[in-house]
With several copies, the nearest count.
Chain A
Amino acid sequence: MSGVEQKALFDWLCRMGDNCLILGHRVSEWCGHSPVLEEDIALANTALDLIGQTQLWLGLAGEVEGAGRDADRLAYHRDAAQFRNVLLVERPNGDFGNTLMRQFLFDAWHMEMLRALQGSSDARVAEIAAKAAKEVAYHLERSADLVIRLGDGTEESHRRMQKALDLLWPYTGELFMGDAVDQAVAAAGIAPDPASLKAGWTTLVAEVMAEATLTVPTAPFQHKGGKAGRHTEALGFILADMQFLQRAYPGGVW
């Protein structure tokens, strides 16, 4: 692997890992506060899967980088500008409908991505993807189902889900925007071109929203920046909590 490719692969792996880490963090904020016990369980389970995937992606990122950073080092000792997650996953939880909608929009992309990655030219990537895909298939099944039921539920639940969709929609475009990093890993056969995932995602989202009686927004504006380290103001606060102990107690053993 050339140095350039290695750097691109590292960046790309951080994107995968950071998406899982930050979404897992957001989901875990619900712990003990969800509308019904079954959801407490399901959310904890989702967060747990995502943190597990974080360990795999960031662990591999550290290996690829070869600078002695392991998954924890990457998770706990980078500041916001070094994080590579898409903005979607750092959006505040809002109400439970907003949390579910964010989960569905992400899961639908995540599933497409992991499917494609199982054919990666890098065996380690393919292996992680295969493991994660099993978990994410379940996440997607669950979030799609809930979006449908709540969209086509009461007037109130419909209103909330439509609002969530409208609010989150401008954060979905980034999932499919490619840059030099994406081109490099795509050229090496490691990962798909992000744009190639859009058709499948769009179809699934359209189907689910139709069944949920929700209207897919058409406004073209889309946020971006997360993949390059330009985040929203929310991320700094997430990291202040997440990293407190590691930052406050250097040399601690946990």
Chain B
Amino acid sequence: SEQERAFQDRIDRGEKIEPKEWMPEGYRKTLIRQIGQHAHSEIVGQLPEGNWITRAPTLERKAILLAKVQDEAGHGLYLYSAAETLGVSRDELLELLHNGKMKYSSIFNYPTLNWADIGTVGWLVDGAAIMNQVQLQKTSYGPYSRAMIRICKEESFHQRQGYDILLKMCLQGTAEQKEMAQDAMNRFWYPALMMFGPSDKDSVHSAQSMQWKIKINTNDELRQKFVDQTVPQAEYLGLTIPDANLKWNEEKGGYDFSEPDWDEFFEVINGNGPCNAERMEARVTAWEDGAWFRDGLMAHAKKQEARRASARMAAE
């Protein structure tokens, strides 16, 4: 249609789309799905890291981890707000999460099993997330783009803190600590690669999203960039990336590497990951057990409103 063409022209000129402006239904839907998933990922993402807060090995590490998890909840808040500008409430989105109709990043279905996992999640998982998010600062939807700018600042901080945990463990720590770090690397490498989504040729939504500048780079581009950035960091730590095919390719100016096991990826997406059931149970339980709390606050607000109203009436 005329409208759609005009919309695409604005996008192509690099203009930002704002909440009240016209947009194609598909654009709105795609954004809601993407922003909602991203928001859900932030709140579910509290769980694997929260798992180690009570066991953090020093007071400083505990404080840093608390701050990080707090940031994640904050990111969730920004993102739900961005989604709300598209006409969907946080409660609606949460209901879709709780009944399994919306997803969160499948990385959070992997368990955190030792303290090095906390470092590795910061380094690899936040690293991959940032790679994704940096491009999204340039996304065409204004509120989303602005949320991303705020988020990116904090995330890069998290990534450095994660890497710092591993620096300590690998370069100054005991042999056992280095083993932990290698174990974490072995478990998180491929799931981190999966975070960019399936290869472009198998990715359903990619082309349209790129045209709308909801995505800027392809999955494969981002994955390649991530590997190229990560390999030297791993080398510095003295960690081995669990990929026998990993090799510098002079010609392309990047590393060749093995694809993750996409069957596993789709299994995990479909509920069959190590922690899917626990993560969902934790979130649903938190929500259900908290119903009385939310109801209580609501009831109090109504009482206060009624009191103010009758005070006004009495005064008139």
Q: Which of A38, A52, A79, A153 has the most CB of B within 10 A?
A: A153
Q: Complex Cα distance A91/B279, Å?
A: 14
Interface residues of B in 257-302 (CB under 8 A from A): 267, 271-272, 274-275, 277-278, 282, 285-287, 289-301
Closest to A219 in B: B272
Q: Complex Cα distance A112/B247, Å?
A: 47
**A53-87 contact mask (Cβ, 8 Å, vs B): 1 or 0:** 01100100000000000011001100111000000
Number of A-B contacts (CB under 8 A): 193
Q: Is the CB of B272 within 8 A of A221?
A: yes
Q: Is the CB of B66 within 8 A of A51?
A: yes
Tell me if A's interface is mostly helix, strand, loop or mixed.
Answer: helix
Q: Is the CB of B111 within 8 A of A233?
A: yes
Is the CB of B3 closer than 8 A to any CB of chain A?
Answer: no
Chain B residues whose C-beta falls within 8 Å of the C-beta of A223 in the assembled complex: 274
Q: Is the CB of B63 within 8 A of A51?
A: yes
Q: Complex Cα distance A12/B187, Å?
A: 23
Q: Complex Cα distance A54/B177, Å?
A: 26
**Stretch of A1-9, A180-188, A200-208, A240-248 with 4 or more beta carbons under 8 angstroms from chain B:** A240-248
Closest to A212 in B: B300
Is the CB of A199 closer than 8 A to any CB of chain B?
Answer: no
Closest to B66 in A: A48
Q: Is the CB of B66 within 8 A of A246?
A: no
Q: Is the CB of A96 within 8 A of B293?
A: yes
Chain A residues whose C-beta falls within 8 Å of the C-beta of B56 in the assembled complex: 245
Closest to B171 in A: A253
Chain A residues in the interface with B (C-beta under 8 A) = 21, 25, 28-29, 31-41, 44-45, 47-48, 51-52, 54-55, 58, 71-72, 75-76, 79-81, 95-97, 148-150, 152-154, 156-158, 160, 167, 170, 221, 223, 225, 230-233, 235-236, 238, 240-242, 244-246, 249, 251-254
Chain B residues in the interface with A (C-beta under 8 A) = 43, 46-48, 50-51, 53-63, 66-67, 69-70, 73-74, 76-77, 80, 90, 111-115, 165, 168-169, 172-174, 176-177, 179-180, 183, 187, 267, 271-272, 274-275, 277-278, 282, 285-287, 289-301, 303
What would be 8 A-B contacts, judged by CB atoms less than 8 Å apart? A28-B50, A34-B290, A35-B289, A76-B58, A149-B301, A150-B296, A167-B277, A245-B56
